[in-house]
Amino acid sequence: MTVIGVGLLGASLARACKERGLVEEITGYGRNRENLEKARALKVIDHCSTDLADAVKGADLVVLCTPVTSIIPLIQNMISKIRPGTLITDVGSVKEPIVKETEKLVPEGVYFVGSHPIAGGENSGLEASTADLYQNAKCIVTPTGKTNNKALEKISALWQAVGMQVINLSAEEHDFVFGAVSHLPHIVVYALMNTLGALRTQDDREVTAFSGAGLKDITRIASSDPVMWRDICLSNRNHSLDLIDRFQNKLDEIRSTIEKGDGEALKEEFMAANKYRLNVI
């Protein structure tokens, strides 16, 4: 197996595969030689290379664990070096553009299945990786009419073997769903922190200095990697814009309710939110 990108997701997958004896050897690829050597010293990977062609040569399975905007360029650069029969998957949190472009690039006899393991957090990098990152989490796979059934079975089996529940969605449905439950919340929390962070009192005090546990809890994801989330939002642009509009409409409704002083309607809004919240806990 070759892991492209030995960060949180890539290193955790390597650790999980090694711990469970799922693969014979793991090669890690990345641009940072120091990170790769550290991963090898920690026995997260067996071999490492900063040469993409060398890294994928002879691999039975290639897993792309890089930012979403780099996945297609990497596939373009490595596809001619991959031997027939090789399986390719990724961990990108946006699927439709990746799946569409990859299916144009992959030749007959090489098999791609899009994946999105729902794992990780605001901490990133090799140091944050663990063998149980994927345990009891969900993984979305996004087959199309062109997807090879045996390849789909093998990629699904990989994620199941590291402890994940595998769910099949179309790439378009995936991007709508995770635009809603993941991408929009990040956008909202970034906007909230920027709004509050810029506020000062008449005595020039920062309002965030008075925040309690509640604000810390709901804004935890504002600590996530800004570059990664920039790329995710732009890659899922249409759904991001649609969902921002929907959220803005709901804010406008609540604003109007407050402006009118309609306490009963405001209570109903908050009660509805209480009920929806039960679906995510």
Domains and CATH numbers, the chain: 2-169 (3.40.50.720), 173-280 (1.10.3660.10)
* pLDDT value of position 159: 98
Cβ neighbors of 162 (< 8 A, separation 6 or more) are 13, 16, 17, 20, 22, 134, 135
Tally the C-alpha atoms within 13 A of residue 257's C-alpha that lie toward its C-beta. Answer: 15
Q: Exposed, middle or buried: residue 280 (CB in 10 Å: 0-12, 13-18, 19+)?
A: exposed
pLDDT of the residue at 124: 82
Interval 202-242: pLDDT, tens: 999 999 999 999 999 999 999 988 999 999 999 999 999 99
Full 3-state SS string of 12-64: HHHHHHHHHCCCCCCEEECCCHHHHHHHHHCCCCCEEECCHHHHHCCCCEEEE
pLDDT tens per residue, range 49-83: 999 999 999 999 999 999 999 999 999 999 999 99
pLDDT score of 29: 97
Confidence at residue 281, expressed as pLDDT on a 0 to 100 scale: 77
Contact predicate 99/72, CB 8 Å: no
Residue 280 is predicted with a pLDDT of: 87
Distance separating alpha carbons of residues 64 and 197, to the nearest angstrom: 36
- Please state, as a whole number, how many other Cβ atoms lie within 10 Å of the Cβ of residue 271: 10
- The C-alpha atoms of residue 211 and residue 204 are separated, in whole angstroms, by 16
Alpha-carbon distance 16 to 119, whole Å?
13
Planar angle of CA 80, 84, 86, nearest 5 degrees:
95
What percent of the chain has a predicted confidence (pLDDT) above 70?
Answer: 100
Residue 168's pLDDT is 98
pTM of the full structure: 0.92
The answer to whether 9 touches 131, Cβ cutoff 8 Å, is: no
Give dist(CA 200, CA 52) in Å, integer.
50
DSSP character at residue 183:
I
Confidence class for position 187, pLDDT limits 50, 70, 90: very high
Contact 22, 161 (CB under 8 A): yes
Q: What is the helix (H) or strand (E) element at residue 4, kind and residue range?
A: strand 2-4
- At 260 the pLDDT is 98
Give the pLDDT mean for 163-174.
Answer: 98
pLDDT in tens, 239-270: 999 999 999 999 999 999 999 999 999 999 99
Residue 123 pLDDT exceeds 80: no
What tens digit of pLDDT does each residue of 37-56 get?
A: 999 999 999 999 999 999 99
Please give the pLDDT value at position 206: 97
Average pLDDT over residues 154-169: 98
What's the pLDDT score for residue 107?
96
In this structure, are residues 150 and 122 in contact, taking their beta carbons and an 8 Å threshold? Answer: no
Which of 107, 96, 108 lies closest to 71, judged by CA? Answer: 96
- How many Cβ atoms are within 10 Å of 197's Cβ, its own excluded? 12
pLDDT at 122 exceeding the cut of 90: no
